[in-house]
Amino acid sequence: SFIKEEDIIKNVNNYLIVSSKTALNELIKNIINFKDTYNLVLVIPNRRLTDNIKTNLFKDIIIICNSSSAQAYEKIIGEHNEEN
């Protein structure tokens, strides 16, 4: 399984970083049954990945370019987490 419910934590934002449409489709198949119980935030490289995808499965969607550094990911996700 791509991701299991025991991998997700209640009452906090769970950031799910996905870089491809294939990976996003697999992720959605796995979270569909427990999406309402957890705060799931999707992190993607561009909005195009969400074309024809049910984005209401996620509390929020953040776009971070694939070429961004690890520090940039940490900063953007950290700021998002503080605000939400």
Q: What is the pLDDT of residues 15-50, one digit of tens each?
A: 999 999 999 998 888 888 887 789 999 999 999 998
Q: Give the model's pLDDT for residue 57.
A: 87
Query: For the whole model, what pTM was predicted?
Result: 0.89
Q: Is residue 1 predicted with pLDDT exceeding 70?
A: no
Q: What are the residue ranges of helices labelled H in 2-69? A: 21-31
Cβ-based burial of 54 (10 A; exposed 0-12, middle 13-18, buried ≥19): exposed
Q: Is residue 55 predicted with pLDDT exceeding 80?
A: yes
User: Out of 2-6, 8-12, 20-24, 78-82, which region has the weakest mean confidence (pLDDT)?
Assistant: 2-6
Q: What is the mean pLDDT of the chain?
A: 91
Note whether 50 and 25 are within 8 A (CB): no
Q: Is residue 71 predicted with pLDDT exceeding 90?
A: yes
